[in-house]
Amino acid sequence: MKKYKIAVAGTGYVGLVAGVCFAEKGHNVICVDVDENKVKMMKDGKCPIYEENLEELMIKNYKEGRIDYTTDFKAAYKDADAIFIGVGTPEQEDGSANLSYVATVSRQIAESVEKDCLVVVKSTVPIGTNDKVEQFIKDSLAHNVKIEVASNPEFLAQGHAVRDTLQAKRIVIGTESKEAETKLKEIYEPFGLPIVSVSRRSAEMIKYASNDFLALKISYMNDIANLCELVGANIEDVAKGMSYDPRIGSSFLHAGIGYGGSCFPKDTKALKYLAKQHGYHLKTVEAAVDVNEAQKTKLFKKASERLITFSGLKVAVLGLTFKSGTDDLREAPSINNIELLLKNGSNIYAYDPVGMENFKKKYPTQITYVNTLEEALKDANVCFLFTEWEEIRNIKPETYKKLMKTPLVYDGRNMYELDEMKKNGIEYYSIGR
C-alpha cells in the first residue's frame, strides 16, 4: 500500500472523521483548524464532537504517530500529497450555500503549496464549485506547482460517521484527469470499498441528489402519516407493507416530526436554490421542504387543540438533539417547539443525555435543565418527546403515570406501543397512528 501525506482542512463532522479514518488506514494525516483551543483539545485526545468510536480512534492514531492537529496551515499544506477540504458550507438566508470557508482555505492552499498537489473537496458544494476552486487556486498560486482539484463528497450519517466512512457502501470520486483519478483511488485503496468514478460535476450532483432523495422519502412518509390520522390507518402498518417491496426498501420509512441536522435541510434548500438560478423548479424537492417545515411543529399543534393554555404549565421535554447518537442541534425540531412553548408561557424542564450543554448556548436561562428523566417528568402537566434516545424509548409507561401530574404524552418518534400506553392510563399522541 502506498502511504500518502494528507492534510485535512476543517475538523467538524466531515473533516475530522475523514482525517481520523485516513490515519486508521495507514496514511500520515495533519488536520488543520483555526481554533487553537480546539487543536489543543484534540491533541489531548478529546473529541470536539459527540460521535461514536471517533475519540478512541483519535487517541490510537495520535499515539501511533499517524495523525496530528495544527493551526499552522502553511506548514500543513506546503508539502502535502493531497489536501482534503472539509469545512462547513452553511445555508444562507436565500437558501444558497455559503462558500466563504471553502474560498478561505483555497486561498491558503494557493499561498502555501510548494509541490504538486491534489486538492479534494469533501464539503457539500453546489454543482460547478470544484471548477471554480481549481481556477481560484491556480490564479493565486505563490509557487510554480501543478494543482488539480477533485470532488469526493461524503455520505456519512451523524451518530454513525466512523462506521459510514470505514464501511461505506461506495466512495464517489469526481475527477477531470486520469492522474487525479489514480491518486484518489490509491488513497482509498486500503479501505477496500467500491469506488464510483465520475466527472467532478456529476460527483457534486450525486451528493445533492442522494441526500434530497432521502429527504423526499421522509417527507413523503410524514405526508402519508398525516393522512393516516385522518382516515384511521396506522402509518407503521403502512410502512411495514411498503418495506417488502425491494424497489422501495425499508430505510427512511419512519414517520415523525421531520428531518433536521446539518445535511438534509441545507442540501434540499441549496438544490432548490440552484435549480431556480437555472430557471428550473424542482417541484418534488420544494414539496419536501414545505412538508418538513410544517411537520416540525405538528406535536405543538396537537397539544394546542387539547389544552386551553400552556401558561404556567410544567412541560417536560425529553430529547433535544435532531436525532439520537449526536449532540448536533442544527435544525432540530425541539427548537421550533420550545420556541412556541416559551412564547405561550410554559415552564420547560428539559433532559437530553448529550445535547444539553449545546442547548444552553441557545437558551441559557429560559428553560430548566435537569439531570434525569424522572426530574423532568415529576409533576409535569404534559410531556413532549423529540429524540429517540434509547433511554427515553426504555421508559416504562407506568413511569409517566406515576410521576406526571397529568399523564399527557406527545411522542414525535413513535417510540411506544399504542395499546401499552392506553392500558397504563396514558393519554398518548404520536404521528400517523
**Which residue from 391, 427, 393 is spatially nearest to 409, judged by alpha carbons?**
427
What is the rounded distance in angstroms from the CA atom of residue 230 to the CA atom of residue 226? 7
Q: 121-134: b or e for each residue (b if 16 or more CB lie within 10 Å)?
A: bbbbbbbebbebbb
For residue 389, the cross-strand partners are none
Question: Is the Cβ–Cβ distance between 177 and 200 less than 8 Å?
Answer: no
Residue 178's CB: how many other CB atoms inside 10 A? 8
For residue 8, the cross-strand partners are 31, 84
What is the rounded distance in angstroms from the CA atom of residue 42 to the CA atom of residue 44? 5
Helix axes 235-243, 200-231, angle to 10 degrees: 130
What is the rounded distance in angstroms from the CA atom of residue 432 to the CA atom of residue 11? 39
Q: Is 31 a catalytic residue?
A: no
Collapsed DSSP state (helix, strand, coil) of residue 350: strand
Amino acid residing at 313: L
Q: What is the DSSP letter of 191?
A: G
Q: What is the DSSP letter of 44?
A: T
Kindly name the residue from 47, 228, 263, 383 that is annotated as catalytic: 263
What is the rounded distance in angstroms from the CA atom of residue 16 to the CA atom of residue 22? 10
Sheet with 368-369, side-by-side order of all strands? 368-369, 347-351, 314-318, 382-385, 408-411, 427-429
What is the rounded distance in angstroms from the CA atom of residue 208 to the CA atom of residue 13? 17
Helices and strands (DSSP H and E) totals, the chain: 19, 14
Q: 387-424: b or e for each residue (b if 16 or more CB lie within 10 Å)?
A: bbbeebeebebebbeebbeebbbbbbbbbbeeeebeeb
**Which residue from 389, 385, 394, 381 is spatially nearest to 429, judged by alpha carbons?**
385
Cβ-Cβ contacts under 8 Å for 210 (sequence gap 6 or more): 155
The beta strands (E) that lie in 44-134 are given as: 67-70, 82-85, 117-121
Catalytic residue IDs: 263
